[in-house]
Amino acid sequence: MNDFLQLFTELKGVFGGAAAIGIAAAYYFFSQKNSRDMAGADSAGQIKALAVYEEMLKSEREARALAEQRADKFAEERNEAYRELYKLQGQMSELTKQIERQNAELERLRAQISNLEEQIHANPRL
C-alpha cells in the first residue's frame, strides 16, 4: 500500500493521478476476481456434490425398494410354505387317526378269527 502512495505522490498532473487510480482499480478488481472465482468454484463444487449426493440417494432408494420387494416375496413364500406345512400336518393327523381306526378294526377281526377258530376246534362237527 505504501508503494501506491509513493507512486501517487510522485506522479504529477491529471494523467498521473488518473493512471494511479486506474492501476489501483485494476489491482482491486483483479484481486476480487480471484476471490469471486474461488467462491464460484466453491459453489460449482457444492452444486456438483449435491448432484452426486442426489444420485447416490436415488440409487439407495432404488436398492431399498428392490430389497423390500425381495423381502416381501420371501415373506410370501415363507407364509405359503407354512400354510403347506400346516395342511400336511393336518393330513398326517387324519392319516394317523385312520391307521389307528384300521388297527383297532384289525384287532377286532383277529379276535373274531381267534374266537371262530376256537369254536371250530371245540366242535369238530362244524
Per-residue pLDDT tens digits for 15-73 = 666 666 777 777 777 777 666 666 666 677 777 888 889 999 999 999 999 999 999 99
CB neighbourhood size of 9 (10 A)? 10
Q: Are 86 and 94 a contacting pair, CB within 8 Å?
A: no
Cell of 48: 456438483
Give the separation between CA 96 and CA 89, rounded to whole angstroms: 10
Q: Map out the domains of the chain as residue ranges.
A: 2-122
pTM: 0.46
Question: Which of 41, 37, 11 is closest to 24 using CA atoms?
Answer: 11
Residue 125 DSSP one-character state? T
Specify the pLDDT at position 99: 98
Which segments of 1-126 does DSSP mark as H helices, in order? 2-10, 13-122
Give the separation between CA 66 and CA 60, rounded to whole angstroms: 10
Specify the pLDDT at position 36: 66
CA 95, 101, 105 angle in degrees (round to 5)?
Answer: 140
